[in-house]
Chains A and B, each alone.
Chain A
């Protein structure tokens, strides 16, 4: 498995997509069963962290709405019904 840049970043700093891609990579790697046991265990732990991180991101997601005024983007106040 090629080591991608994201495997060196702390899990909390990864975006959802980065974390998910790495997680998929780990699962594929473990399916291949080539790594020594210790490496596999480390991969598993990282995989678990990634899954937890993704889950947390999904849970806490809030729609972020902004408005374009001229060229700049500012927060948008939605009308309440």
Chain B
């Protein structure tokens, strides 16, 4: 480029930079762009903003993620990592620099994985693998719990501790399996199938937290199909609360963590069982006490009635009656006797008054004819020898003269 000797159009730096800015910020593609590169010069100062440079073999690009976006997204970003970022170009005029204002940072490849996730999800969903109607209830009191997870690691330990605490009663069978890497999906499928042969009441499928790649085995089509086909109901507890894998959708129940999965499998705890037992025991005791009390009361009333109707009482009653009659009879008799007695006394006295002997003592005499013993009450009757009875004896007399 040959500069002209005389410039016709001078621009100030500001004007020049402003023009560059308009150019870059006016490009709609560069305002909504995904780029990938390697992270270098990563800086995360106290202000909360994230500064870094993305580079490839031949070029580099300054980037910044502002604090608000950084706090919301909490991106996984490390020095040297291969990442995909989304953002828009901006020009920082004071320093004459262009930089990418980033709002999304992802490990490289994650975008592609996520697309695959959506594709599979859509396909399996249309096949009906995620239908709510096909979800089975989890037994309230399982006898046998199956677990598919890594034999080492916190997930298993947490699940066993939770189960032991809530329902030590139950039998646990572990089907160990790797939970990430290429070997994981076939191993998980195998574990689920073998475990189902042991007829568990429920199966826990779990692993601890990780990135989308770590958890990828649980998005593998083979594993998801095995989960849907499982004879025993499956509780899926993979990763953290916000992680959703396709196994979560295919499972009969999703748990936010492995520990929560174990809790959901043990809805009835040993405390519930104790309480239930206590309830039955109390009821039993109460019922039998009441039964006995009722019987006692009934017997008691029968005994009373028996006593009341007994011959003994009847006999007593009769005795009393008899006594009463006797008493009345006696009383009546006595009374009559008394009356008669008085009567007799009266008559006796009257008789006594009429007693000829009494008259005799007054000087009268009873004269009877010796011949025939007839009483002489008239002169005409006085003949022959006469027996004269006076008060103190008798003598004979002959009639001398009659008047």
Q: By DSSP majority rule, is chain B's interface helix, strand, loop, or mixed? A: helix
Choice from A16, A48, A63, A67 contacting B176 with Cβ under 8 Å = A67
B300 CB to nearest A CB, Å? 15
Contact status B171-A71, CB under 8 Å: no
Q: Within 8 Å CB of B151, what residues of A?
A: 67
Q: How far does the alpha carbon of A71 sit from the alpha carbon of B195 in the complex, in Å?
A: 9
Contact status B277-A63, CB under 8 Å: no
Choice from A16, A23, A31 contacting B287 with Cβ under 8 Å = A31
Contact status B172-A71, CB under 8 Å: no
Q: Within 8 Å CB of B157, what residues of A?
A: 78-79, 81
Q: Is B173 an interface residue (CB 8 A)?
A: yes
Q: How far does the alpha carbon of A47 sit from the alpha carbon of B170 in the complex, in Å?
A: 24
Counting chain B residues whose Cβ lies within 8 A of the other chain, the interface size class is 35 or more
Contact status A65-B172, CB under 8 Å: yes
Q: Within 8 Å CB of B287, what residues of A?
A: 27, 30-31, 44
Choice from B152, B169, B280, B288 contacting A24 with Cβ under 8 Å = B280
Contact status B175-A68, CB under 8 Å: yes
Q: For window 10-52 of chain A, which residues contact chain B by CB distance below 8 Å?
A: 16-17, 20, 23-24, 26-27, 30-31, 33, 37, 40-41, 44, 47-48, 51
Contact status B152-A64, CB under 8 Å: no
Q: By DSSP majority rule, is chain A's interface helix, strand, loop, or mixed? A: helix
A55 to chain B: closest residue by CB: B277
A29 to chain B: closest residue by CB: B287
B197 to chain A: closest residue by CB: A71
**Given known contacts A24-B280, A67-B174, A58 and B160 CB-to-CB distance under 8 angstroms:** no
**Besides A68-B175, A81-B157, 14 new A-B residue pairs in contact (Cβ under 8 A), listed by A number:** A16-B273, A24-B280, A41-B288, A44-B287, A47-B284, A66-B171, A66-B174, A67-B151, A67-B176, A68-B174, A68-B176, A68-B194, A68-B195, A79-B157
Chain B residues within CB distance 8 Å of chain A: 141, 143, 151-152, 157, 160, 163-164, 167-176, 191, 194-195, 197-198, 270, 273-274, 276-277, 280-281, 283-284, 287-288, 291, 295
